[in-house]
Structure 1
C-alpha cells in the first residue's frame, strides 16, 4: 500500500467511475452503449472498440469486487442496497418495485458493489492496518 492519504474523495472517485461504467453500458434514458449498438451498422469499428473497452472495465470491476469482498461481502453490500432502497422509497413515498425504479436501483446497486470492491482494501488498511495481497502462482 502506498503511504498516500486515503480519504472520502477516493471513495467518491471510485463510485463515480463505477457509476460511469455501469450507466455507460446500459441505462433507460436511451443514451447508452447498448442503445448505440442496436442503432445500426454505422460506426461499426468504433462500436467494437468501445464495446471491448467497456467489457474490459466491467470484467475488471467484477473480478476486483468478487476477489476482495468474496461471497459474504457481496451479499452484505446487496442487503445494504436493498435496505437503503426500501428506506428511500418509504421516505419519498415512491415504490421501488415500479419497473423503471427497480432497473435504476439495480444499476446503482451494481455500481455500489463495484465501489465497495474497489474501496474496501484501502479503507481496511487505513482503519485496521491490514494489507490485502494476492498470491500469484507460477
Structure 2
C-alpha cells in the first residue's frame, strides 16, 4: 500500500509555530514515528507553502497511490483549485486538520476539500494523521 501525506502552508513550522495549538513536535519527527508504526505501508511526505505545487503533487499521485492524507492548512478555506484537484483524481483523499477548525475563526469553518474527500478528521492533533492512515488500511 502506498500513501502520501501532503501538508500545506506553514506546517513546516510545526514545533515552532503556536505550540499551544499545534504542539511541540516537528512533523519530520512525527513522520518517522508513523513510518515505524506502519511498516507495511509505503509512506511518503510532501509539504509546500505554494498552492500550485500542492495541486501538481495531487495530480502526480492521484492515479497511482492508494491514499492521500491532505492537510491543506489555510488553503482548505480558500482554494477552489485544490478542491477541484481532489475531485479530479481517483485516489481517495482524507482531509486532516490538527486543530478543531470549528473552534476557531468563522472563515475556518469553510472547506473546499470536505465535499470531495473520503472523510475529514480534525481536532485530534497529530493523531489525526494516524487515524487517516488507518482508514485506508480498513478499506
TM-score, normalised to structure 1, is 0.25
Q: Say which structure, 1 or 2, has more relative contact order (CA 8 Å, 6+ apart).
A: 1
Larger-Rg structure:
1
TM-score, normalised to structure 2, is 0.25
Task: Specify which structure has the higher proportion of strand.
Answer: 2
Task: Specify which structure has the higher proportion of helix.
Answer: 1
